Amino acid sequence: MSFSFFKPSRPKTPPEVAKAIKDSLNALDTKTVAEVKALEKAMEEVEKNFVTMRCMLSGDGEVEPNVEQVSQLALEISKEDVISLVVHKLPILGWEARKDLVHCWSILLKQQVDSKYCCVEYIEKHLELLDFLVVCYDNKEIALNCGNMLRECIKFPSLAQYILNSASFVLFFKFVELPNFDVASDAFSTFKDILTKHASLVAEYLTGHYDEFFDLYEKLLTSSNYVTRRQSLKLLSDFLLEAPNVQIMKRYILEVRYLKIMMTLLRDSSKNIQISAFHIFKVFVANPNKPREIKIILAKNHEKLLELLNSLSGKGAEDEQFEEEKELIIKEIEKVSRLQSLKS
Amino acid sequence: MEYEQEEHPKLQFPLDSNSYNIIAEIGAGVCSKVYTAQCLPINSNVVAIKSIDLDQSNAGFRNLVGRETNTSSLPSHPNILNPHCSFTAGNRIWVVMPFMSGGSLESIISSSSPNGIQEQCIAIILKETLTALSYLHSHGYLHRDIKASNILLDDNGRVKLADFGVSSSFYASSSVYRLGSSTFSSQYGTAPEVIHSHKGYSFKADIWYFGITALVSTKKFSETFQDMAASCLHKDPANRPSADKLLKHPFFESCNGTSKFLAENLLRGLPSVEERFRAASKILEKGVDCDPNGDWASGLLLNHRMSSIIEGNGNEDEEFEVHDPVFPVESTQAVIPCDDDGEEQQPAAGGRGNEVNAETMVNQLMALKTSLDDQKEKLNKIINQPGAETIDREDELEKENVRLRLELEREREHNLNLIQVINEEDPLLHQNERLRLELKNEKLRLENEKLRLELEKLKMHISATSNTTTDDNN
């Protein structure tokens, strides 16, 4: 390798690139911490190889990538276990290398060879890699790189389904509240992707894990962190009111405890949160088959609710629709409050 | 008190607001305020904190939360201000940054002498800014919010480009971002923030704003400066230089000033950042009207000024009447979050902006048409005047012809420029709006053509008259 400078520069072939990446990553293991220089040199080699990979996959700004080489490289990388290697080595790589890797990751995942996503298939056979990436949110240095890679994975239903059902999924409820804002908001966008990219998968998951999921979700909605409250509430209406989740929604709006959460959020100090809460609260009220318990709560609190709703106003273009809905909801609450059957 | 600098990049800044003691307010936007503060656990280090109100701005919230461009994912560069950390404090986000005690270029401009800053200083500041921009672009990032208030200086005259990813994410809903992502992510299959092309439109939008920033920075400028700024403001993005290429422009090549020079010649004697902010707030309180469309209007004005430069009309050291140089920048800052405020739907927000733009545009065109009509009338008068001193008039008319024709050409060019600006400002400009504008322009072109024909006629008329006159004399 040391004489590579003097070799005539012949561009490497995809198998050579894959091999070089593999060798250089493996070389990181053989160096002990004592040999700082050796480790640095090995790291440089990895970085150099990543740049080569990046150029092959996306061109160098002047030359367009060669489609054939791109798919050949994707094939080699999945055949040679390079995917496992890069994921596991991610925490020790430098900033440049990680950035190059994230860039290549999305391209590699999208490569189809013989109408098969070879890299995605590799990950399907090594699903622990996804858990590894999720856990990386705890490592501030690499959290955002892993977040990017995870979101690329989540685009594929099989991988999204695994994460959704894996033990590591519950970690997201913790990650979205990390004190570091950058990491927390990145984790939230991954969390959101998981819950919104493949609606039917999510519906299936929620059906099976209804109590477990909404117990955890309640903690987000009642968090003391403004950002957590606001975005979890918005996300809830994003997926709960989606067509495939209609059964979940119907179940949700029968529950007194969730109505209580929405009523609390209607009184939030933030107007934005109040309005988002209204959009879920209205479904509880508008439900033609309200259980008696829900009706009792509405009737008991009708004065306060009406006062609150009257003080609530929409904004801009949504104003009209909001006011219309508000009128309907107010009427419904008044109707419920007059029901004789509840006064026993 | 020590100033925290990048020499200690590994210092862990606390992620809770109780660890910071606010000293003074040094800046304010629509949804944000900037303070100086002491970081108590770290030897009361002085830092700057940008506090963004999330409850005031829906767009801000959308873009800040779950955005894909993160400041912390960027490695350090001497000309880029990297935040130490960010965290939530109630319904606000606090972004903790190194405190740049020299203040922003904007505040320096407004508190320096009425003659503006000397070009030598501007050159250094712009060069450092451009170096940062070149670095960002080479890593596939766009800044998206280049302006004088985002160019900061420290005590030692070191220049740093700020607000990458923080306030620029307010801007992320803008067309530049969306165009960038759609074009490039489909082409290269990458996330918008890792766009890796130097030929793209989006990078050239940063260059455009760099040109505008250069232009508002000074009142007097040299020919090389003009040439540099003009190249940034080329109406076709493809013809604007990349940041790398612009660094090789003679204006920057010949600039070898140092930060020390800035510290000694520019910063010395300036009021403190805090004092500058107080002075600026006073002016605002007095009610200098902060028209939300002011930004656009000043953009037009700048563009007008610029187009005359592009067409070689500007003389060396020509003094332009830059209306309060602080102002265009100030209002830019105000407009961006403002426009998005309270608008839940992005298209709606965009649409509203367009209407305003188009309105202004149409008004401009109408004004131009009126001016053309005036000129036509003048010409008619000239034509119909009895040829008393025909020979004397001939020269005059000839000159007038040439002048008018040039002016018409220039104004037409200017129109195209304006349309281009609108296109760049928002490619999602409603199609019919654009068509309307193009129609107007076409109309103007026809008008122009008609006028030219008339001029031709006039010329013939003149030569005929002069022939007669000559004949008569003979």
| Domains of chain A and CATH, by start | 9-124 (1.25.10.10)
Q: Residue B374 has what pLDDT?
A: 57
Our CA angle for B221, B224, B226, nearest 5°, is: 55
Residue percentage of chain B with pLDDT more than 70:
50
User: Taking CB atoms and an 8 Å limit, are B65 and A103 in contact across chains?
Assistant: no
Q: What's the CA dihedral at A182, A188, A189, A195 to 10 degrees?
A: 170
CB-CB neighbors (< 8 A) of B57 in chain A: none
Closest CA to A145 of A171, A110, A106, A117: A106
Q: Residue A222 has what pLDDT?
A: 96
For chain B positions 120-149, those within 8 Å of chain A (CB to CB) are 139-140
Kindly state whether residues B70 and B119 are assigned to the same domain: no
Query: Residue B58's domain is classified under what CATH number?
Result: 3.30.200.20
Surface-to-core class of residue B436, CB atoms within 10 Å of its CB (0-12 exposed, 13-18 middle, 19+ buried)? middle
Q: Which residue has the higher pLDDT, B333 or A215?
A: A215
Residue type, B49: I
Tokens of B370: 């009126």
Helix (H, G, I), strand (E, B) or coil at B85: strand
Mutate to test the interface with A, among B73, B93, B137 (most CBs of A within 10 A): B73
Q: Is residue B189 part of a domain?
A: yes
Q: Who among B68, B194, B343 is closest to A103 (CB)?
A: B194
Helix (H, G, I), strand (E, B) or coil at B39: strand
Q: Residue A290 has what pLDDT?
A: 94
Chain B: nearest CA to A105, how far in angstroms?
9
pLDDT at B114 over 90: no
Chain B: nearest CA to A340, how far in angstroms?
41
pLDDT at B442 over 60: yes
Chain B: nearest CA to A289, how far in angstroms?
31
User: Taking CB atoms and an 8 Å limit, are A179 and B58 in contact across chains?
Assistant: no
Q: Which residues contact B89 (CB under 8 A, 6 or more apart)?
A: B16, B17, B51
Residue range B265-312, pLDDT digits in tens: 888 888 888 888 888 887 766 654 444 433 444 444 454 555 555 444
Q: Which domain holds residue B132?
A: 103-173+183-311
Surface-to-core class of residue B33, CB atoms within 10 Å of its CB (0-12 exposed, 13-18 middle, 19+ buried)? middle
* Boundary of a domain, candidates B63, B81, B98: B98
Q: What's the CA dihedral at A73, A76, A78, A81 to 10 degrees?
A: -130
Distance CA B151, CA B202 (A): 20
Residue range A270-293, pLDDT digits in tens: 988 999 999 999 999 999 999 999
* Boundary of a domain, candidates B98, B121, B147: B98
Residue range B153-197, pLDDT digits in tens: 999 999 999 876 543 333 222 222 222 222 222 222 222 333 333
Q: Tell me which residue has tokens 């609390």.
A: A264
pLDDT at B6 over 80: no
Catalytic option among B145, B154, B340, B426:
B145
**Which strand (E) or helix (H) includes residue B23?**
strand B20-28
Burial profile B451-464: b = 16 or more Cβ within 10 angstroms, e = fewer = beeebeebeeebee
Q: Residue A235 has what pLDDT?
A: 94
B58 close contact with A: CB closer than 8 A: yes
What's the 3-state SS for A118-157? HHHHHHHHCCHHHHHHHHHHHCCCCHHHHHHHHHHHHCCH
Tokens of A58: 């996306």
Distance CA A218, CA A220 (A): 5
Q: Please give the average per-residue pLDDT across B57-71, as a whole number.
A: 54
Chain center to CA of A41: 36
Of the pLDDT bands very low, low, confident and very high (cuts 50, 70, 90), residue B136 is confident
pLDDT at B388 over 90: no
Our CA angle for B328, B334, B337, nearest 5°, is: 140
Q: Is residue B468 part of a domain?
A: no
Kindly state whether residues B158 and B274 are assigned to the same domain: yes
Kindly state whether residues B75 and B156 are assigned to the same domain: no
Distance CA B350, CA B441 (A): 23
What's the 3-state SS for chain B? CCECCCCCCCCCCCCCHHHEEEEEEEEECCCEEEEEEEECCCCCEEEEEEEEECCCCHHHHHHHCCCCCCHHHCCCCCCECCCCEEEEECCEEEEEEECCCCEEHHHHHHHCCCCCCCHHHHHHHHHHHHHHHHHHHHCCCCCCCCCHHHEEECCCCCEEECCCCCCCCCHHHCHHHHHHHHHHHHHHCCCHHHCCCCCCHHHHHHHHHHHHHHHHHCCECCHHHHHHHHHHCCCCHHHCCCHHHHHCCHHHHCCCCCHHHHHHHHHCCCCCHHHHHHHHHHHHHCCCCCCCCHHHHHHHHHHHHHHHHHCCCCCCCCECCCCCCHHHHHHHHHHHHHHHCCCCCHHHHHHHHHHHHHHHHHHHHHHHHHHHHHHHHHHHHHHHCCCCCHHHHHHHHHHHHHHHHHHHHHHHHHHHHHHHHHHHHCCCCCHHHHHHHHHHHHHHHHHHHHHHHHHHHHHHHHHHHHHHHHHHHC
Complex prediction ipTM: 0.84
Tokens of B161: 């480009």
Q: Which residue has the higher pLDDT, A197 or B176?
A: A197
Q: Is residue B397 part of a domain?
A: no
Kindly state whether residues B110 and B63 are assigned to the same domain: no
Answer for the pair A285, A333: CB distance below 8 angstroms, yes or no: yes
Range in A75-89, A226-240, B56-70, B381-395 the model is least confident about: B381-395
Residue percentage of chain A with pLDDT more than 70:
94
E strands, B56-141, in order: 85-89, 92-98, 103-104
Tokens of B308: 């005359």
Q: Residue B281 has what pLDDT?
A: 81
Model-wide pTM > 0.90: no
Chain center to CA of A7: 46
B293 close contact with A: CB closer than 8 A: no
Q: Which residue has the higher pLDDT, A323 or B316?
A: A323
Q: Is residue B366 part of a domain?
A: no
Of the pLDDT bands very low, low, confident and very high (cuts 50, 70, 90), residue B140 is confident
User: Taking CB atoms and an 8 Å limit, are A185 and B91 in contact across chains?
Assistant: no
Q: Which residue has the higher pLDDT, A73 or B52?
A: A73
Kindly state whether residues B82 and B144 are assigned to the same domain: no
Of the pLDDT bands very low, low, confident and very high (cuts 50, 70, 90), residue B413 is low
Among this protein's residues, is B145 annotated catalytic?
Answer: yes
Distance CA B31, CA B180 (A): 26
Kindly state whether residues B92 and B228 are assigned to the same domain: no
Q: Is residue B335 part of a domain?
A: no
Distance CA B402, CA B309 (A): 19
Answer for the pair B32, B22: CB distance below 8 angstroms, yes or no: no
Answer for the pair B240, B231: CB distance below 8 angstroms, yes or no: yes
* Boundary of a domain, candidates B262, B284, B311: B311
Q: Is residue B390 part of a domain?
A: no
Chain B: nearest CA to A38, how far in angstroms?
24
CB-CB neighbors (< 8 A) of B343 in chain A: 316-317
Distance CA A133, CA A150 (A): 7
Of the pLDDT bands very low, low, confident and very high (cuts 50, 70, 90), residue A159 is very high
Q: Who among B15, B72, B348 is closest to A179 (CB)?
A: B15
Helices (H) and strands (E) in chain B, counts: 15, 8
Surface-to-core class of residue A55, CB atoms within 10 Å of its CB (0-12 exposed, 13-18 middle, 19+ buried)? middle
Mutate to test the interface with A, among B50, B62, B65 (most CBs of A within 10 A): B65
Kindly state whether residues B79 and B119 are assigned to the same domain: no
Helix axis angle for A67-79 and A95-110, nearest 10°, is: 100
CB-CB neighbors (< 8 A) of B348 in chain A: 316-317
- What is the residue-averaged pLDDT of chain A? 91
C-alpha dihedral sign at B286, B292, B294, B299: positive
Kindly state whether residues B187 and B293 are assigned to the same domain: yes
Closest CA to A53 of A101, A89, A85: A101
Q: Is residue B12 part of a domain?
A: no
A67 close contact with B: CB closer than 8 A: no
User: Taking CB atoms and an 8 Å limit, are A316 and B348 in contact across chains?
Assistant: yes
Strand partners, B22: B37
Q: Residue B171 has what pLDDT?
A: 27
CB-CB neighbors (< 8 A) of B85 in chain A: 180-181
Q: Please give the average per-residue pLDDT across A308-324, as a whole number.
A: 81
Distance CA A294, CA A299 (A): 9
A223 close contact with B: CB closer than 8 A: no
Our CA angle for B375, B381, B385, nearest 5°, is: 150
User: Taking CB atoms and an 8 Å limit, are A316 and B342 in contact across chains?
Assistant: yes
A318 close contact with B: CB closer than 8 A: yes
Strand partners, B51: B33, B94
Q: Who among B61, B86, B196 is closest to A58 (CB)?
A: B196
Query: Residue B128's domain is classified under what CATH number?
Result: 1.10.510.10
Kindly state whether residues B221 and B110 are assigned to the same domain: yes
Residue type, B186: S
Distance CA B217, CA B169 (A): 24
Residue type, B267: L
Of the pLDDT bands very low, low, confident and very high (cuts 50, 70, 90), residue B116 is confident
CB pairs under 8 A between A and B: 96
pLDDT at B348 over 50: no
A148 close contact with B: CB closer than 8 A: yes
Q: Is residue B127 part of a domain?
A: yes
Our CA angle for B433, B436, B437, nearest 5°, is: 90
Q: In Å, what is the CA distance from B319 to each residue of B196, B226, B232, B322?
A: 40, 12, 20, 8
Q: Please give the average per-residue pLDDT across A76-83, as a whole number.
A: 94
C-alpha dihedral sign at B282, B287, B288, B289: positive
Closest CA to B125 of B110, B108, B142: B108
Q: Which residue has the higher pLDDT, B278 or A330?
A: A330
Kindly state whether residues B62 and B153 are assigned to the same domain: no
Q: Residue B372 has what pLDDT?
A: 58
Kindly state whether residues B160 and B254 are assigned to the same domain: yes
Kindly state whether residues B294 and B436 are assigned to the same domain: no
Q: Are strands B85-89 and B151-153 parallel, antiparallel or unpaired?
A: unpaired
A188 close contact with B: CB closer than 8 A: yes
Tokens of B138: 């080479």
Residue type, B408: L
Distance CA B266, CA B466 (A): 61
Chain B: nearest CA to A295, how far in angstroms?
32
Residue type, B65: V
Q: Residue A109 has what pLDDT?
A: 96
Q: Who among A180, A231, A317 is closest to B15 (CB)?
A: A180
- What is the residue-averaged pLDDT of chain B? 67
Total structural domains within chain B: 3
